[in-house]
Chains A and B, each alone.
Chain A
Amino acid sequence: MAMRSRFALAVRRARISTGTTSSRAALRPLTQARWKSTASTEDAEGVAKGTTGTSKTVKFTSETYPEIKRDPKFAQISEDHVRFFKELLGKDSAVIDGVTKDATDDIEPFNGDWMRKYRGHTKLVLKPGSTEEVSKVLKYCNDNMLAVVPQGGNSGLVGGSVPVFDEIVINMSRMNQIRSFDDVSGTLVADAGCILETTDNFLAEKGYIFPLDLGAKGSCHIGGNVATNAGGLRLLRYGSLHGSVLGIEAVLPDGTIVDDLSKLRKNNTGYDLKQLFIGAEGTIGIITAISVHCPQRSKAINVAFFGLESFEKVQEAFKEAKGQLSEILSAFELMDRPSQGLVKKVTNNKQPLESEHPFYCLIETSGSNSEHDNEKLETFLEYVMENEIVSDGVVAQDETQVRSLWGWREGIPECLGHWGGVYKYDVSIPLSELYDLVNETREKIEAAGLKGDNDSFPVVDVVGYGHMGDSNLHLNVAVRRYDKAVEKVLEPFVYEWIAKRSGSISAEHGLGLAKKNYIGYSRSDNMIGLMKQIKNLYDPVSLNHSSRSPPR
């Protein structure tokens, strides 16, 4: 009885929360593993309405972008190749073979991406179970000129995790073991295919936390996180993976095993080569394991949610938060009104604040002493209210409210996909101008007559949200269908706008297929040349991500 009522409560009160354990269990790590539904209204396990849709309805990338050509130097996959892989990997489940038989349904999830924007033609998915197997697979591919694409949880947002043509998908989901954890130093060594949330739950039991958290935690892999150098919700507090990753084990395209699984925080003996793999998006090798320094999990967590009348006020609030909350501030997230309006529309949940505001912020504090934190937070809250920096706000009184407030931020990406698709720009620009980009983009889309309330308009809305604490904005255009007319208004406009301000056209999502051609807006020819040298050094035949790299 008690159990039942507890659960019912969870479903009712934590509607767009990060979910209950039972919904976590429902995630299939192997398949396309759409990000766990935080947007479901009724059923904790339900997939959000709208964002599903079979990948079959998605156009092939090769049709959407006919200018991308398959490099003829790569071989076609033959039955002999398949036989080799089957013998090597042994288990039936380790090879999804669409070459010698029809396996369309089983393979589709590996061909399509989370955004339903990209779709490849692969006929072969391999799931190696050990570093040695990865090495043998890659060596064989290299020797036989077979192109590959490494895949983690397939939650990437730039089309990097799925093939364009018939590249073999090397999916890491079977490498999902925690190798070791040191209770004193907090050093975790784990396979690349461990799911972020599962890993974090393991650490929570020991009083530690993974130094990264993001909305896709229920499906993304820690190896994928490192490969994309994901930033996420708490970079403000725990810093970038370039700092917290202590070691990497990876396999180069020729099969060489890079055994740099150091557990040391300090190791100034030569070049720090592991850094090259962090954020390389699988272009120079496949990460098979990582060693990461995990901080102590905070006991006292507080979350406040504000409404503010202008972006100037948001900046003031941020400045005050840093000043007054300093070491306990662990997240400062920004959401504009349109983004919250869409979450409301999709989830139909009651909004935290009674009235509407142009901007919303979510502030989180984490510390070790709740009395100390509460005192600081209260002083801060009083200050921002009394000085009219924020117009209204609420404070979570319990853990359930903490989760549902977070739901209004974490639920955005999924809810935006509700109507069909999203054009995503993940940019870094100086804070003072951060939101101007959204306003200007919205004006342009409106001026072009592309935005409206019914099906004849491709665009639903133009929204801005993101990691304010890291000067990282997500400019998202929610659409009913991907449409060249929309794309023309957005590009290269957005990129030029960013380049003018010396910003980054990809702050945390990477280049993938979506941004690869635009690298020049954020990096000089010189830098691109140096990157090409690295690529050619480690992957001379351009095996990994054949159609994507090296960056032009």
Chain B
Amino acid sequence: MSALRILVPVKRVIDYAVKPRVNKAQTAVETTGVKHSMNPFDELSIEESVRIREKKSAPGGVEDIVAFSAGPTKAQDILRTAMAMGADRSIHVEVKEGDDLEPLGVAKLLAKVVEAEKSNLVVLGKQSIDDDAGQTGQMLAGLLGWSQATQASKVSFLEGDKVEVTREVDGGVETLRAKLPMIITTDLRLNEPRYASLPNIMKAKKKKLEKKTLADYGIDGTRRLKTTKVIEPPPRQGGGKVEDVDGMISKLKELGAI
């Protein structure tokens, strides 16, 4: 079986625990002064790739794990995290804040990276939690003409370059089998990502981080979609509290419910 050359695309997003707010101009979500972290699904992708190597689950072994991110300079922070978690090296393509790529742009870029890095397995998050598009993996599979298994909850390897992926679907689980090269997107139940340990954070500093541009890959990042307006969802009509049963009855009467 061929040795795995895994590509793991990761994205820097507003921290999952932070409540996003719309900016004053209503053009986007406010990002300045807001904590950013690695997209949680991408953490799962890194973790899974590292586990494949550690557990020696792929018969041909893992030759290379490269983390890749297109984003502002700060995206290098999450590449360092990815390397502290176990990626061998990383590539950063500088894309200015505000010029964010669309899923199709990212997929086209990744297709070029796959070609340059001779990857035979791409592990992506099933979606990024900032715009929740959930399209990149599928588009990439389409562009490359590779097999895809989305929303993986379990990944195992069989003889003859075959990969078995279990995915949770409504009403049960589905098991897919495909041959390398392929695309896998990760779902929450796949694994529990590790913490970045101090020794590994220090080692990660010495790992290679290549800086590239869109032009290096011959990609034009121009957006094809235009965002006209971003607004908050209407506030939930909060429930009121009543002191006691009498209060409840009079409230119900007041609302004409009884």
On A, residues with C-beta under 8 Å from B are 1-2, 5-6, 8-10, 12-13, 91-93, 299-300, 304-305, 350, 352-354, 370, 381-382, 385, 390, 392-403, 405
> B residues within 8 A CB of A2?
127, 129, 132
Contact between chains at B192 and A350 (CB < 8 Å): yes
Complex Cα gap A491–B248 (Å): 52
Partner of B198 from the list A9, A92, A394, A400 (CB cut-off 8 Å) is A394
Contact between chains at B196 and A394 (CB < 8 Å): yes
Contact between chains at B17 and A392 (CB < 8 Å): no
Q: A395-B201, A399-B17 are in contact. List 8 more A-B contacts (CB 8 A).
A: A12-B188, A299-B33, A381-B201, A395-B198, A398-B40, A399-B35, A399-B37, A405-B195
With A93-B244, A398-B15: A12-B195 Cβ-Cβ less than 8 Å: no
Complex Cα gap A145–B195 (Å): 60
Partner of B195 from the list A9, A92, A396 (CB cut-off 8 Å) is A396
Is B218 in contact with chain A by the CB < 8 A criterion? no
17 A–B contacts, CB within 8 A, in A order: A5-B188, A8-B188, A9-B40, A12-B192, A91-B244, A93-B243, A304-B198, A385-B199, A392-B199, A394-B196, A394-B198, A397-B81, A397-B196, A399-B16, A399-B37, A402-B17, A403-B17
Contact between chains at A392 and B198 (CB < 8 Å): yes
Partner of A385 from the list B37, B202, B243 (CB cut-off 8 Å) is B202
Partner of B16 from the list A9, A91, A299, A370 (CB cut-off 8 Å) is A9
Is B246 in contact with chain A by the CB < 8 A criterion? yes
Report, nearest first, the 5 A-B pairs whose CB atoms are least far apart. Answer: A398-B37, A399-B17, A394-B195, A393-B198, A2-B132
Contact between chains at B188 and A6 (CB < 8 Å): no
Give chain B interface residues in 211-244, CB to chain A under 8 Å.
243-244
Q: How many A-B residue pairs have CB under 8 A?
A: 85
Is B197 in contact with chain A by the CB < 8 A criterion? yes
Partner of A395 from the list B16, B196, B243 (CB cut-off 8 Å) is B196
Complex Cα gap A399–B40 (Å): 11
Is B182 in contact with chain A by the CB < 8 A criterion? no
> B residues within 8 A CB of A12?
188-189, 192
Complex Cα gap A118–B111 (Å): 67
Is B18 in contact with chain A by the CB < 8 A criterion? yes
Q: How far is the CB of B102 from chain A (nearest CB, A)?
A: 17
Q: How far is the CB of B22 from chain A (nearest CB, A)?
A: 16
Contact between chains at A394 and B37 (CB < 8 Å): no
Complex Cα gap A257–B9 (Å): 64
Give chain B interface residues in 102-146, CB to chain A under 8 Å.
127, 129, 132
Q: How far is the CB of A402 from chain B (nearest CB, A)?
A: 8
| Closest B residue to A91 using CB positions | B243
With A9-B40, A398-B37: A352-B195 Cβ-Cβ less than 8 Å: yes
Give chain B interface residues in 147-164, CB to chain A under 8 Å.
none
Complex Cα gap A401–B18 (Å): 13
Residue from A353, A397, A402 with most neighbouring chain B CB atoms (10 Å): A397
Contact between chains at B17 and A395 (CB < 8 Å): no
> B residues within 8 A CB of A353?
197
Residue from A1, A350, A395 with most neighbouring chain B CB atoms (10 Å): A395
Is B38 in contact with chain A by the CB < 8 A criterion? yes
Complex Cα gap A350–B201 (Å): 20
Q: How far is the CB of A336 from chain B (nearest CB, A)?
A: 20
> B residues within 8 A CB of A401?
195
Complex Cα gap A394–B199 (Å): 9
With A392-B198, A397-B38, A397-B81: A92-B244 Cβ-Cβ less than 8 Å: yes
Contact between chains at A398 and B132 (CB < 8 Å): no
> B residues within 8 A CB of A381?
198, 201
With A13-B40, A91-B243: A6-B16 Cβ-Cβ less than 8 Å: yes
Give chain B interface residues in 177-218, CB to chain A under 8 Å.
188-189, 192, 195-199, 201-202
Complex Cα gap A381–B199 (Å): 10
> A residues within 8 A CB of B202?
382, 385
Contact between chains at A397 and B16 (CB < 8 Å): no
| Closest A residue to B130 using CB positions | A2
Contact between chains at A398 and B16 (CB < 8 Å): yes
Complex Cα gap A72–B35 (Å): 61
Contact between chains at B244 and A6 (CB < 8 Å): no
Complex Cα gap A399–B129 (Å): 14
> B residues within 8 A CB of A10?
16-17
With A9-B40, A399-B15: A394-B197 Cβ-Cβ less than 8 Å: yes
With A8-B188, A395-B195: A400-B244 Cβ-Cβ less than 8 Å: no
Complex Cα gap A12–B195 (Å): 15
Complex Cα gap A400–B193 (Å): 12
Complex Cα gap A14–B202 (Å): 26
> A residues within 8 A CB of B192?
12-13, 350
| Closest A residue to B85 using CB positions | A397
Complex Cα gap A112–B244 (Å): 24
> A residues within 8 A CB of B197?
353-354, 392-394
Complex Cα gap A9–B81 (Å): 19
Complex Cα gap A2–B14 (Å): 14
> B residues within 8 A CB of A398?
15-17, 35, 37-38, 40
Complex Cα gap A397–B15 (Å): 10
| Closest B residue to A306 using CB positions | B198
Q: How far is the CB of A208 from chain B (nearest CB, A)?
A: 16
Q: How far is the CB of B133 from chain A (nearest CB, A)?
A: 10
Complex Cα gap A343–B106 (Å): 43
Q: How far is the CB of A299 from chain B (nearest CB, A)?
A: 6
| Closest A residue to B78 using CB positions | A397
Q: How far is the CB of B154 from chain A (nearest CB, A)?
A: 15
Q: How far is the CB of A126 from chain B (nearest CB, A)?
A: 15
Contact between chains at B40 and A390 (CB < 8 Å): no
Q: How far is the CB of A272 from chain B (nearest CB, A)?
A: 38
| Closest B residue to A301 using CB positions | B35
Contact between chains at A400 and B40 (CB < 8 Å): yes
Contact between chains at B129 and A6 (CB < 8 Å): yes
Complex Cα gap A381–B35 (Å): 21
Q: How far is the CB of B180 from chain A (nearest CB, A)?
A: 28
Q: How far is the CB of B189 from chain A (nearest CB, A)?
A: 8
Give chain B interface residues in 32-79, CB to chain A under 8 Å.
33, 35, 37-38, 40, 43
With A2-B129, A403-B17: A397-B244 Cβ-Cβ less than 8 Å: no
> A residues within 8 A CB of B37?
397-399
Complex Cα gap A13–B194 (Å): 11
> B residues within 8 A CB of A392?
197-199
Q: How far is the CB of B185 from chain A (nearest CB, A)?
A: 13
> A residues within 8 A CB of B196?
394-395, 397
